[in-house]
């Protein structure tokens, strides 16, 4: 098995209010891992511990206990950071610089040689649709443009691992689609991407793995397929639904829909066998029984108890 | 190379800093005002003998330079405290520290940026001292390098101290602490005797711990005339400069050590 790109093992972090005040647990025994080449979504409501976790991954903050490895190095190790592209939440910038100068500044810090940076910077700015705005001071950029610039700087130096905190924040629908397409193209290129986002429908489309945290505790982790197919409903497809069965279905919490192929009945897993036997007894054919794949949003709301993702 | 990149960016940010621009404007106003005073003094003392006039002018130049030099200390301490704190406040430090940059490299780059600013300031001070002496019809007898190196080393101490303090406290407090330390360092006079043993002990400890920036004052060289020209040996110069650089280096290393374990977040 490949060495995980990110490994979080029993990580605990507690903040202490100034002057020896109250202890605030931020992370309690959180464990998850992200394999190379995976796109992993890091989800949780406000105050769940996402930013704390990302800060620990980047070496900005130290965990109280637990083991953390990033590209098989300790967090903050320069050798790991050489292969990491990072987009902080609400990307901050030097207002007096132009996009081109900011990119060249970051390229120099990333160890990209000046001639390479001269070629690479316009390419990346073009990739995030900022061509033509290179000479404009960043202070005059809109929120969306700043976010695009943040993504472009994260891509400098051809990083192996991208850590993106709210990459679509501040973007319009077209911009969000561009970022989604960009992430998919990076995924195809074999990059590992760890992102936090509150747009769950988008996350579901691009992610392989999901980590859900709330109040510093890990609630769920697994591949999208594992988590979304492990729903509590099944869909039964039958050729015929006798009218006499309809009151029973309502009682079992079933939802049904008639179409050209027959009747699709969505029912809680607990009534699956009972429904199938009843249908057979009534002379109907059960064509298929398939688990209902829930949406990531449904799963999220279910596990965090209706809290709002952020 | 990364240190130089951070230093140049820091210097560039200083040139756009509103507070530093305001400082520059005030500096220019003070200089113009002083020039007027100098010319006025020269006109009033036109009947005095040459030696007296030379002494007046050089003393006046030394007084002006003392003021300008003091402002430089404020600038060095503020620039060093603010440059690190503003990165934390704005959050720009997060994107920078996500790059393959060691924390000590970041701080070294910031310090180098401050020293670039102070080098420009010292060059302006140097030009001003010669301009004032020329306007007074006199020449400065001290070697030019003394007027450049001494203040720069002194500002390195203030900058490094401010950088050390800002890794643990608010920049305004760090700035105030550096100013308090510099005043206390000048007050602690080893020649003065106290009857109380405790105060003698406190004074001795403070004299060792606090930076003796008075040793690095270039003003004493500005007032030297032909008649009183004192030859300072290279050993004396080197000892004083080595003391200053050593003090600054210790502060900078302590700052790097303190910054190494500091939590990086948007303040």
Q: Does B169 touch chain A (CB under 8 A)?
A: no
Residue A2: predicted pLDDT: 77
Q: Stretch B71-99: mean pLDDT, rounded?
A: 90
Residue B180 lies in a domain: yes
pLDDT band (50, 70, 90) for residue B50: low
For A122-253, where are the E strands, in sequence order? 161-165, 192-196, 209-214, 217-223, 233-238
Residue B230: predicted pLDDT: 60
User: For B114-124, how does the pLDDT look when each residue is reduced to its tens digit (9 = 90+)?
Assistant: 999 999 998 98
Residue B266 lies in a domain: no
Question: How far apart (Å, rounded) are the C-alpha atoms in residues B206 and B211?
Answer: 9
Q: For residue B83, what are its two tokens? A: 């440059």
Question: How far apart (Å, rounded) are the C-alpha atoms in residues A50 and A26?
Answer: 9
User: For B54-64, how does the pLDDT look when each residue is reduced to its tens digit (9 = 90+)?
Assistant: 777 777 777 77
Residue A6: predicted pLDDT: 92
Q: Does A93 touch chain B (CB under 8 A)?
A: yes
B90 is in which domain, residue-wise? 2-260
- For residue A214, is pLDDT > 80? yes
Out of B9, B98, B265, closest to residue A105 by CB: B9
- Residue B209 CB-density burial (10 A; 0-12 exposed, 13-18 middle, 19+ buried): exposed
Residues of chain A with pLDDT > 70, as a percent, come to 97
Q: How far apart, in Å, are the Cα atoms of A136 and each of A108, A132, A142, B55?
A: 20, 9, 11, 55
Residues in chain A within 8 Å Cβ distance of B12: 96
Q: For residue A218, what are its two tokens? A: 């890990």
User: For B212-245, how does the pLDDT look when each residue is reduced to its tens digit (9 = 90+)?
Assistant: 777 777 666 665 555 455 667 788 888 888 988 9
For chain A, where are the E strands, in sequence order? 6-16, 23-34, 39-43, 65-70, 84-87, 161-165, 192-196, 209-214, 217-223, 233-238, 255-259, 262-268, 286-291
Residue A309: predicted pLDDT: 47
Q: Note whether A108 contacts B5, CB cutoff 8 Å.
A: yes
- For residue A84, is pLDDT > 70? yes
Q: Does B5 touch chain A (CB under 8 A)?
A: yes
Residue B267 lies in a domain: no
Residue A235: predicted pLDDT: 84
User: For A3-53, how does the pLDDT look when each residue is reduced to its tens digit (9 = 90+)?
Assistant: 889 999 999 999 887 777 778 888 989 999 999 999 999 988 888 888 899
Residue B193: predicted pLDDT: 63
Q: Stretch B125-142: mean pLDDT, rounded?
A: 78
For the domain spanning A6-228, the CATH number is: 3.40.50.300
Residues 271-310 of chain A with CB under 8 A from chain B are none
**Average pLDDT of every residue of chain B:** 83
For the sheet containing A6-16, what is the strand order?
A23-34, A6-16, A65-70
Global pTM? Answer: 0.83
Residues in chain B within 8 Å Cβ distance of A86: 94-95, 98
Q: Does A90 touch chain B (CB under 8 A)?
A: yes
Residue B164 lies in a domain: yes
User: For A281-292, how does the pLDDT look when each residue is reduced to its tens digit (9 = 90+)?
Assistant: 888 888 888 877
Residue B52 lies in a domain: yes
Q: Tell whether domain A233-292 is in CATH 3.30.300.
A: no
* Number of structural domains found in chain B: 1
Domain edges within chain A: 6-228, 233-292
Compute how many other C-beta atoms are within 10 angstroms of the C-beta atom of residue B211: 24
């Amino acid at each position: 098995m490949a060495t995980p790109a990110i490994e979080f093992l029993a990580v605990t972090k507690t903040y202490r209010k100034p002057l020896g005040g109250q202890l605030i647990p931020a992370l309690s025994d959180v464990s998850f891992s992200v394999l190379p080449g995976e796109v992993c979504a890091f989800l949780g409501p406000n105050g769940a511990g996402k930013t704390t976790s990302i800060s620990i991954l980047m070496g900005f903050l130290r965990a109280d206990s637990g083991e953390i490895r990033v590209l098989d190095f300790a967090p903050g190790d320069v050798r790991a950071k050489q292969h990491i592209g990072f987009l902080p939440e609400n990307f901050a910038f030097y207002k007096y610089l132009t996009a081109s100068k900011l990119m060249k500044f970051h390229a120099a810090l990333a160890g990209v040689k000046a001639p390479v940076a001269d070629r690479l910077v316009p390419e990346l700015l073009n990739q995030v649709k900022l061509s033509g705005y290179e000479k404009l001071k960043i202070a005059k950029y809109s929120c969306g443009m700043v976010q695009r610039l943040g993504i472009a700087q994260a891509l400098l130096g051809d990083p192996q691992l991208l850590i993106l905190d709210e990459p679509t924040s501040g973007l319009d629908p077209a911009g969000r689609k561009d970022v989604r397409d960009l992430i998919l193209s990076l995924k195809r290129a074999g990059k590992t991407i760890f992102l936090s986002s509150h747009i769950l429908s988008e996350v579901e489309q691009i992610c392989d793995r999901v980590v859900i945290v709330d109040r510093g505790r890990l609630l769920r982790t697994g591949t999208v397929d594992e988590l979304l197919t492990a729903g509590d409903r099944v869909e039964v497809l039958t050729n015929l639904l006798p009218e006499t069965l309809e009151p029973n279905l309502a009682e079992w919490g079933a939802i049904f829909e008639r179409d050209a192929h027959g009747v699709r009945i969505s029912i809680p897993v607990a009534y699956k066998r009972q429904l199938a036997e009843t249908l057979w007894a009534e002379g109907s054919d059960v064509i298929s029984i398939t688990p209902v794949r829930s949406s990531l949003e449904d799963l999220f709301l279910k596990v965090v108890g209706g809290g709002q993702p952020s | 190379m990364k240190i130089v990149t951070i230093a140049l960016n820091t210097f560039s940010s200083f040139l756009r800093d509103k507070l530093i621009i305001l400082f520059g404007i005030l500096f220019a106003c003070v200089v113009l005002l002083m020039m007027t005073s100098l010319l006025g003094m020269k006109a009033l003392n036109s009947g005095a003998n040459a030696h007296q006039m030379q002494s007046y002018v050089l003393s006046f130049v030394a007084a002006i330079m003392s003021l300008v030099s003091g402002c430089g200390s404020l600038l060095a301490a503020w620039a060093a405290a603010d440059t690190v704190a503003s990165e934390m406040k704005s959050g720009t430090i997060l994107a920078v520290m996500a790059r393959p940059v060691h924390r000590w490299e970041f701080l070294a780059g910031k310090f180098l940026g401050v020293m670039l600013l102070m080098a420009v300031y010292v060059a302006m001070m140097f030009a001003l001292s010669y301009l004032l002496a020329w306007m007074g019809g006199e020449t400065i007898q001290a070697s030019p390098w003394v007027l450049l190196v001494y203040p720069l080393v002194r500002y390195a101490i203030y900058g490094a101290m401010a950088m050390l303090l800002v890794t643990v406290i608010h920049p305004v407090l760090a700035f105030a602490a550096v100013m308090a330390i510099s005043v206390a360092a000048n007050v602690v006079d080893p020649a003065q005797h106290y009857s109380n043993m405790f105060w003698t002990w406190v004074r001795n400890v403070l004299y060792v711990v606090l930076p003796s920036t008075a040793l690095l004052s270039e003003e004493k060289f500005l007032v030297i005339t032909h008649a009183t020209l004192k030859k300072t040996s290279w050993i004396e110069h080197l000892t004083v400069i080595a003391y200053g650089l050593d003090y600054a280096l210790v502060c900078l290393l302590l700052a790097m050590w303190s910054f190494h374990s500091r939590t990086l977040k948007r303040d």
